[in-house]
Structure 1
Amino acid sequence: MNLNHLYYFRTLAKLEHYTKAAAQLCLTQPSLSHAISSLECELGTVLFEKQGRNVVLTKYGRLFLTYVENAIEELEQGAKKIKDLTSNEQSVITVGFIYTLSAHFIPNLISGFMKNKQNSNIKFALHEGATQNECTADLVIGLKNEKLDIIFASLIPKDPNIEYISICEQKLVVILPYDNPLAQLKEIDLKDTAPYPLIHYSGKLGLKQEINRQYAKVNIIPKVFCEVEDENSMAGLVAANMGIAIVPESPTFLNFNIKVLPISNPMYKRNIYLGYMKNRQDTLAVQRFIRYVSGISKEFQQII
């Protein structure tokens, strides 16, 4: 079956007029008529019937049009995919990441990548989400269904189809008001925070559960004052002397009038991983970004 004939058929079905269709296709009208006749002969049925000066699809033509449109759409998507894979022009890299990387890590990472002039045409689409211990685990799902090209995660589910590369560590710290007695210390034993109200996470169940596990290690049940979703809100409440908070270390806290102290007991670090599909043929832009991230992984501790 001639592919051009399918395009001709679709155009004629849309315009319902041989002269107009031939003009749009840059064909002579006899050439278009011959192509449609050849297609009808191959199918063994009539696809169009006259209606005044126009033509309309027969019932068989309407049925065939559905398959033709689906086939052409699949072919065009395939052609676009190949062009995306072989060109950096106007490429888009879709990145998913856990919430705690949004303030500094992801912006600094992209900024460093974009300093290379070869990457100037590459754009990014960013998505915050979760990886494990949350109901949707949407980062992993997005990666596997091709909505995301790569992800940055802290908890990695076992999956033989995903490649994970450890790129840096993220510590938990205590943030507290400067007039809190613990602010005079250089580091904190978590059990010493027991008397003080805790500003805890309301979402981010994986991180919330991990903090609860750290308290359990020192036999403490924290006195939760309130729960909020993001670190900026937690830092603002701490600065207002409403309590203390346990959060992943981040330069964001330098913008608040609060003290940030490392936790000496229990010791805790979580790895941050770059994840991508092992057997997926990624675009050149995605491949370049993965190489960039892998190549500077030792520097990430400075920007997280």
Structure 2
Amino acid sequence: MELLQLQYFQTVARLEHMTQAADELNVTQPALSRTISRLEEDLGVHLFDRKGRQIRLNSFGKVFLSHLERAFAELEEAERKIRDLAGLDQGIVSIGITNASILPALLSSFLARHPEVHFRQYLQSPLILRRQLENGEVDFCISNTPIEGTDIEWKKLVTEELLLLVPREDRFIHRSEIYLREVANENFINMHTSYDIRDITDKCLEAGFTPNITLEGNDPLVIGEMVSLGLGVSFVSELTWRRVSDLLQNRLHVLRIIEPNCQRTIGVARLKGRYLSKAAQAFYHFMTNYF
């Protein structure tokens, strides 16, 4: 039985709706369902009565929830006392990133618990991030590609899918999936970081063509606006789309890419043996247990 399972259960029990709980927790519904199922397997009983898409907390679930809420209340009280003693909330955490798609949800959840922790973030290429990590300029790096070195420890956080954005008036509007080769003649709009360009180019080459990248930007919302105006198509990460879809979905259509495999793994790198402040340690632990 893991703390993350208990936190997920508490949210599902409060909302009694798996989709809403997944949205609130910023996780996918299948991942949330698997976590709840593992908790029920650990306990040996079902905690919810399921009927179609509806779920209701059953008698086992109600008993478990009442004890869990008391336990969480005690843990929160202990956490507050420890923070007071350790001065955790006065810390500064420095993070290097190659892509910001994963960061908003992480920071939002962490800062809700530790509002006085301050963050510095640096958007750089993996090569520069590795140098910053080795020089002690950042506590750790979040990257779409492993940052390697004899003194560097790399840990996978999550695997996300790359999706394709097209205008709502596009010929693909009635489809949910696409082969990447079908947009070989389209203009591409891309994030301007060097790694993203290389990653996208590699995917297109795998599909048999070289992308014609006509526009670059550094803001997913601006790129979405460009796509909606018919200036081109664009890749978007699953996590980024989840963050901006409410603002853009009426003007854009998103397609899952059937071929080639357009997934990427996001992970975190830290320097082995390097001392981390209490705030940095807390965020690292939170981050590696978030997904």
**Given the superposition, is the C-alpha separation of residues 100 and 113 from structure 1 closer, same or farther in structure 2, using an over 3 Å criterion?**
closer
Provide the residue aligned with 2:13 in structure 1.
Answer: none
Residue deviations 1:113-132 (CA, integer Å, cap 9, x gap): 1233xx3432222222221x
In structure 2, what is the Cα distance between the partners aligned to 1:217 and 1:227?
A: 21
Contact 1:253 1:260 (C-alpha < 8 Å) held by counterparts: no
Q: Which residue is 1:280 aligned to?
A: 274
1:1-304 correspondence runs (5 A): 87-88=87-88, 90-101=90-101, 105-116=102-113, 119-131=114-126, 137-201=127-191, 203-249=192-238, 250=240, 251=242, 252-256=244-248, 257-296=251-290, 298=291
Change (3 A) 1:89 1:240: closer
- After superposition, the Cα gap between the structure-2 partners of 1:177 and 1:121, relative to the gap in structure 1 and judged at 3 Å, is closer
Contact in 2 for aligned 1:189/1:264 (Cα 8 Å): yes
Name the CA distance, whole Å, in 2 between partners of 1:126 and 1:205: 17
Q: CA deviation at 1:228?
A: 3.5
1:7 is aligned to none
State the secondary structure of the residue aligned to 2:195.
helix
Displacement of 1:172: 1.3
Once structures 1 and 2 are overlaid, which stretch shifts more, 87-96 or 278-287? 87-96
Please tell me whether the aligned partners of residues 175 and 247 of structure 1 are also in contact (alpha carbons under 8 angstroms): yes
After TM superposition, give the deviation of residue 89 of structure 1 in Å: 5.1
State whether residues 96 and 122 of structure 2, in contact with CA within 8 Å, keep that contact through their aligned partners in structure 1.
yes
Distance 2:147 2:119 in 1: 25
Question: Is the CA contact 2:99–2:143 (under 8 Å) kept in the aligned structure 1?
Answer: no
Runs of 5+ unmatched residues, structure 1: 1-85, 132-136, 299-304
What is the alpha-carbon distance in structure 1 between the residues aligned to residue 132 and residue 145 of structure 2? Answer: 15
Q: Alignment partner of 2:208: what SS?
A: coil
Question: Offset of 1:187 from its aligned partner?
Answer: 0.5
Deviations 1:122-156 (A, max 9, x none): 2222222221xxxxx22222221111112111112
User: Residues 289 and 226 of structure 1: is their aligned pair in 2 closer, same or farther, counting only changes over 3 Å?
Assistant: closer
Shift of residue 232 of structure 1?
Answer: 2.8
The amino acid of 2:136's aligned partner reads: E
Deviation at 1:174, TM superposition (A): 0.8
Which stretch of the first structure deviates more once superposed, 90-99 or 263-272? Answer: 90-99
- Counterpart code for 1:264: I
Q: What's the Cα RMSD here?
A: 1.9
Q: CA deviation at 1:178?
A: 0.9
Deviation sequence 1:162-194 (CA, Å, 0-9, x none): 111101012211100011101221101001112
Query: Would you say the 8 A contact 2:89–2:115 is kept in 1?
Result: no
CA distance in structure 2 between the aligned counterparts of 1:217 and 1:271, rounded to whole angstroms = 18
Offset at residue 229 of structure 1 (A):
4.1
Secondary structure at the counterpart of residue 183 of structure 1: coil
Q: Structure 1 vs Structure 2: percent identity of aligned residues?
A: 19
Task: Tell whether the 8 Å contact from 2:124 to 2:193 is kept in structure 1 after alignment.
Answer: no
CA distance in 2, matches of 1:114, 1:226: 35
Assess, with a 3 A threshold, how the Cα gap between structure 1 residues 110 and 222 changes in structure 2: closer, same or farther: closer
Per-residue deviation at 1:91?
1.2
The residue type equivalent to 1:196 in the other structure is: E
**Distance across 1 between alignment mates of 2:271 and 2:182:** 44
The answer on whether the counterparts of 2:144 and 2:265 sit within 8 Å (CA) in structure 1 is yes
Letter in 2 for 1:128: L
Where in structure 2 are there 5+ consecutive unaligned residues?
Answer: 1-85
TM-score, structure 2 length as denominator?
0.64
Distance 2:196 2:232 in 1: 19
Q: Which secondary structure does the structure 1 equivalent of 2:165 belong to?
A: strand
Summarize the Cα distance change of 1:260–1:220 in structure 2 as closer, same or farther, 3 Å threshold: same
Instruction: Assess if the C-alpha contact under 8 Å between 2:96 and 2:129 holds in 1.
Output: yes
